[in-house]
Amino acid sequence: MPQILPIRPLTAEAFAPYGQVIEATPAKMRLINGGNTERHHGLGRAEALGEGAEVILNIFRGQPRQLPYAVDMMERHPFGSQSFQPLSGKSWLVVVAADEGGQPGEPQVFLARGDQGVNYPAGLWHHPLMALAGVCDFLVVDRLGPGGNLEEYFYQTPFIIPEIS
């Protein structure tokens, strides 16, 4: 029988084992440009590992997922980080898992606000993009370069993300 996964709010503290939350925060803010601009500094670190690798910027257009949703697979990128920042201002889901002997453990589900992004370090298991309310665009920072930078794992029994109440 599939296991129901709880959905938790995305916070920097709760998400720390999986990467960084990218959001405007007073603790990381500096005034620049003569005091006219807030710079929220050092919110994440991009990684592009391996010879010939580079960091690139993309826009991903995510189709909405319908809840309840069966999480039956996870993926990871061993040679580069991946950062997702929503451009559409809509809430979305972040699904991650710790590595357990070369495969993902039980998924953890976070509800991200439309002004929150995430940065996954190289090698972190995560589910592909999960837009919720209509088509959503995301600015994605990731790696371009040689080598197999995608690993997928398929669970024998899916996990269920319930409807958001």
- Residues 135-159 have a mean pLDDT of 96
In terms of residues, how long is the chain?
A: 165
Region at 27 (left for phi over 0; alpha for psi -120 to 50; beta for the rest): alpha
Q: What angle do CA 132, 6, 142 make, to 5 degrees?
A: 50
Percent of all residues in the chain with a pLDDT value above 70, rounded to a whole number: 100
Question: What pLDDT, in 10s, does the model give residues 45-85?
Answer: 999 999 999 999 999 999 999 999 999 999 999 999 999 99
The answer for residues whose C-beta is within 8 angstroms of residue 47's C-beta and 6 or more apart is 80, 81, 121, 122, 143
- Residue 124's nearest CA partner among 65, 63, 83 is 83
pTM of the complete model: 0.92
What confidence tier does 165 reach under pLDDT thresholds 50, 70, 90? confident
Which architecture characterizes domain 3-161 according to CATH? Sandwich (2.60)
What is the per-residue pLDDT for 43? Answer: 87
What confidence tier does 27 reach under pLDDT thresholds 50, 70, 90? confident
What is the per-residue pLDDT for 25? Answer: 86
What does the alpha-carbon distance between residue 118 and residue 21 come to, in Å, rounded to a whole number?
A: 5
Distances (CA, A) of 54 to 16, 113, 129, 142, 145: 25, 29, 22, 8, 6
Please report, for the chain, the start and end positions of each structural domain, with discontinuous segments joined by +: 3-161
3-state secondary structure of 81: coil
What confidence tier does 143 reach under pLDDT thresholds 50, 70, 90? very high
Question: What pLDDT, in 10s, does the model give residues 10-26?
Answer: 999 999 999 999 999 88
If one counts every other C-beta atom within 10 angstroms of the C-beta of residue 84, the result is: 23
What is the per-residue pLDDT for 149? Answer: 95
